[in-house]
Amino acid sequence: MESCRVRMCVRNGGYAYLASPYTHLEPSTEAYRYEQVRDAFASLVTSDFGKCMAIVSPILMTHNAVVVHGLPRDAGWWERFNLELMKRATVCIVLCVPGWRESVGVSKELKWFKQNNVPILYYEGWELVWCPEGGL
């Protein structure tokens, strides 16, 4: 079944954008969320899906710079950066971990992907779930 999803999402030579919650009042929660993204990314890139399509995660790309250099943590500051990545994505994968439904950043990303008719997959329990209507 996964290969069917891969064929539906691999188009125009783009990549998958991995959306996930990050910002939290507790730095330890942000670190934990980073670890969840890192582990999901590793699982995805070694799956059939990852063998057919590159996966990009803004959290993986920026977390260390945020921690080491004290860059802003809030989703609003990163909106422009994320939007440039989103514009080139041909599918969105939502990492369904605690906090994803409440995440301001994930909510804005999903709204943008839906408005731009980009397919959305949900990664839940280490499995990709296809939701053609764009939401769970």
What does the pLDDT average to over 6-18? 68
CA angle 8, 12, 16 (to 5 degrees): 65
Tally of domains in the chain: 1
Residue 7 has pLDDT above 70, yes or no: no
- Domain for residue 135, yes or no? no
Q: Which domain holds residue 57?
A: 2-130
The model carries a pTM of: 0.85
Residue 55 has pLDDT above 60, yes or no: yes
pLDDT of residue 49: 85
Beta strands in 1-110 (DSSP E): 15-19, 55-56, 89-95
Among 16, 34, 15, 17, residue whose Cα is nearest residue 99: 34
pLDDT of residue 130: 66
What does the pLDDT average to over 114-119? 94
Residue 6 has pLDDT above 70, yes or no: no
Residue 76 has pLDDT above 60, yes or no: yes
Q: In Å, how far from its chain's centre is CA 46?
A: 16
Q: What is the pLDDT of residues 88-102, one digit of tens each?
A: 999 999 999 999 999
Among 134, 52, 54, residue whose Cα is nearest residue 89: 54
Q: What mean pLDDT, rounded, does the chain reach?
A: 85
CA angle 61, 37, 32 (to 5 degrees): 105
Length of the chain: 136
- Domain for residue 50, yes or no? yes
- Domain for residue 122, yes or no? yes
What does the pLDDT average to over 67-78? 86
- Domain for residue 116, yes or no? yes
Three-state SS sequence of 67-79: HHHCCCCCHHHHH
CATH of the domain at 107: 3.40.50.10400
Residue 63 has pLDDT above 90, yes or no: no
pLDDT of residue 3: 43
Left, alpha or beta for 104 (phi > 0: left; psi -120 to 50: alpha)? Answer: alpha
- Domain for residue 136, yes or no? no
